[in-house]
Amino acid sequence: MRVRQGIFALAAGAAVSAALVAGCGSFSSPGPAVEGADASEEISKPDTTAAAPGVDASREVDASGADAGLDGDGARGKLYRVFVSSGVYTGSFGINGLVDADAQCNALGKGVDPSSRWIAYLATPTLKPVDRLVEPSGGWYLMDGVTLVAPRKTDLAAGLLAHAIDVDEKSSPGAGDPRVWTGHDGKGDITKTCSGWTSGAANMKGFIGNRDKKNDQWHADGEEGCDKLRHVYCFEQ
């Protein structure tokens, strides 16, 4: 009887051993760990290089949220204003010529915006009027700061205005005769400047423009005697 019980015990132990061996065969051996990685952690990390949905990854954004490269005035960049003077003048702005013309523009512009600075759009004996201007990154606008006149100096020079310079420093429609002193014929001739804007003599000549025009005539619309009373364009700088 004891012999039979011993045989049964041996058979049961063998069966358990076989089951353990079979069970071990069902587990896969772990693959090699990545060098430097903690094999005990299998947490996937998100791809931080991917752009968020709807964001153009090619655009750089600074800490303030503005596009990189734009200045403090926003998407349009720095803009300047322009007006045609409410006052009229002979070809003589004063004994200092162009300096006095700039002073006239400054007086009118600063009367509206004391912090602004203005120069007259007038040629010198050696310089076209457009070459006196510093070009803003956002272009030139009427006094409302909304109506675009020209985005670049090349547009001014080529007579490609988006809008005529037909309002004065107070944003009122230009009154009276539309002709404006410029000293430029549109083709490079700057010889007729009323003797450097110091002469109001009838026998002296000055080139003029027309404030109502958007083509080349805006700054090149013939010539007149320097005794005539004409407006002047004033550009912010």
| Cα separation, 140 vs 152, whole angstroms | 8
**Domains defined along the chain, listed by start:** 80-236 (3.10.100.10)
**pLDDT confidence tier of residue 51, bands split at 50, 70 and 90:** very low
pLDDT tens digit string along 98-125? Answer: 999 999 999 999 999 999 999 999 999 8
**Top-confidence residue, 7 or 223:** 223
pLDDT tens digit string along 147-174? Answer: 999 999 999 999 999 999 999 999 999 8
**Residue 14 reports pLDDT greater than 50:** no
Q: Tell me the pTM.
A: 0.69
pLDDT tens digit string along 196-212? Answer: 999 999 999 999 999 99
Q: What average pLDDT does this structure show over 178-204?
A: 93
Amino acid identity of residue 199, one-letter, is: S
Q: Please state, as a whole number, how many other Cβ atoms lie within 10 Å of the Cβ of residue 116.
A: 16
